[in-house]
Amino acid sequence: MKNLIVSHNYFTLISGYLNRVRQQHSGTDRSSNQRESDPLEERSVYLIEDIEKLIEQILSVSDDLSFGLVLGENIHPSDYGLVGYALMNCPDLNTALSLSSKYKPVMNQAFESFFIQGERESSYQVRPKFDEVYLTSLVELDFASGIQLAKLLVDKQDLPKLKLQQVNFQHGPLSCPSHYQRVFNCPVNFHQERSEIIIANSVLALPVRSANPAILDMLLRKIDKAVKSYSLGQSFSSKVICYVSKHQQDIPSAKQAASDFNISLSTLKKHLMSEGRNYSEICDSIRKNMAIKMVADPKTQIKAIYSSLNFSSSSAFNRAFKRWTSMTPTEYRHKMSLSLK
């Protein structure tokens, strides 16, 4: 599932936060490995694993998974590109929330979103397509962004009416209770059946102050066009990632991969290079994802992992894992166990 696409705006949002965190912690010592793994170069295509790399670097500097709340409460519609501008031209919050749910894949294909309307109240739900701890931060970013955008869309005179009934998260708290209260100003519950915002229909009926039907129609046509061209098949690197993932127990060479794609080795390299990627980096990323998932599972013995991933020794595996996460396997497992409590 790591071959899912995220938008350039979404990548820029997270990478911008990483840069700000680094500036705030400019006096701290960071390893050369961390600098070398910087994925901040411009690309035409970004994948969810690129976001994962950014989050790993954020955590290596700040060790704080609650950055999604901070980002969300300082969001602006322009941060979400065409979708954000479309929200600014919706007739009311109900339409804005409905469009936000519909076009979630334009921003981040790692999530499914649902807008369920009832007689008196409605529910906006977000569900990750796979289970990773770092996605909890992005769920909080989505929810915090939602309430902040709503504040920016309505008239100032309507702000006192803009109140949520309840916010539920499947995960545990990533920050202190006062932080959640400041962002959402309503009861916030954790370890729930689903992650959702519950909001009264009377609130959703609030008008958007800058609505322009003609501009909205034009933007929706552009977004629909983007959705069609945003399919997974448009990314050659995503196809290679799927290919390597299917052979992750015995990863093929680049030459074998090119043969299986019925192209030359030079053509394979050229296609990947055009999307800012290379075959060795993709293979390394697949092994990293496997290693992290296995280490995070307390049922799997760490000493047995390196052989299943074809590392020559436990020390070689430990060096690679520390290069990937800036932590030893034991340290990473301990940190993940604490974050899930």
Q: How far is Cα 219 from Cα 104, in angstroms, rounded to an integer?
A: 15
pLDDT-based confidence at residue 43 (cuts at 50, 70, 90): low
Cα separations (Å) of 281 from 216, 240, 287?
41, 11, 10
Per-residue confidence (pLDDT) for residue 39, from 0 to 100: 42
- Tokens 């894992």 sit on residue: 321
Q: Where are the beta strands (DSSP E) in 69-153?
A: 111-117, 121-128
Contacts of 71 (CB under 8 A, 6+ apart): 13, 14, 17, 141, 144, 145
Q: How far is Cα 272 from Cα 340, in angstroms, rounded to an integer?
A: 36
Q: How far is Cα 223 from Cα 201, in angstroms, rounded to an integer?
A: 26
315 vs 336, which has greater pLDDT?
A: 315
Q: How far is Cα 167 from Cα 184, in angstroms, rounded to an integer?
A: 8
Cα separations (Å) of 222 from 45, 215, 333?
18, 11, 44
Q: How far is Cα 179 from Cα 182, in angstroms, rounded to an integer?
A: 5
Biggest distance spanned by C-alpha atoms of the chain: 66
Structure confidence by residue, pLDDT tens digits, 266-305:
999 988 887 778 899 888 888 888 888 888 888 888 878 8
Per-residue confidence (pLDDT) for residue 133, from 0 to 100: 86
87 vs 313, which has greater pLDDT?
A: 87
Q: Phi first, then psi: what are they for 200, rounded to 5°?
A: -70, 145
Q: Which residue from 165, 161, 168 is spatially nearest to 185, judged by alpha carbons?
A: 165
pLDDT surpassing 70 at residue 235:
no
pLDDT-based confidence at residue 2 (cuts at 50, 70, 90): low
Per-residue confidence (pLDDT) for residue 94, from 0 to 100: 96
What is the rounded average pLDDT of the residues 7-33?
A: 77
Q: Where are the domains of the chain?
A: 66-229, 235-339
pTM for this prediction: 0.69
Per-residue confidence (pLDDT) for residue 310, from 0 to 100: 75
Structure confidence by residue, pLDDT tens digits, 111-157:
999 999 999 999 999 999 888 888 999 999 999 999 999 999 999 99
- Altogether, the residues listed in the chain come to a count of 341
Structure confidence by residue, pLDDT tens digits, 51-69:
988 999 999 888 888 999 9
Contacts of 225 (CB under 8 A, 6+ apart): none
Structure tokens at 51: 């976001």
Per-residue confidence (pLDDT) for residue 42, from 0 to 100: 53
pLDDT surpassing 90 at residue 47:
no
Q: Phi first, then psi: what are they for 175, rounded to 5°?
A: -145, 180
Domain 235-339 grouped into CATH 1.10.10.60:
yes
pLDDT surpassing 60 at residue 340:
no
pLDDT surpassing 80 at residue 190:
yes
Look over the chain and give the mean of its residue pLDDT values, rounded to a whole number. 86
- Listed as own residue / partner, the contacts of 249-257 with beta carbons closer than 8 Å and 24 or more positions apart are 249/308, 250/310, 251/283, 251/286, 251/287, 254/279, 254/280
Any idea of the CA torsion for 152, 155, 158, 162, to the nearest 10 degrees? Answer: -20
Beta-ladder partners of 171: none
Lowest mean pLDDT across 43-47, 71-75, 144-148, 229-233? 229-233
pLDDT surpassing 90 at residue 188:
yes
What is the rounded average pLDDT of the residues 7-16?
A: 90
What b-and-e string marks burial along 22-56, b requiring 16 or more CB atoms within 10 Å of the CB?
eeeeeeeeeeeeeeeeebeeebebbbbbbbbbbbb
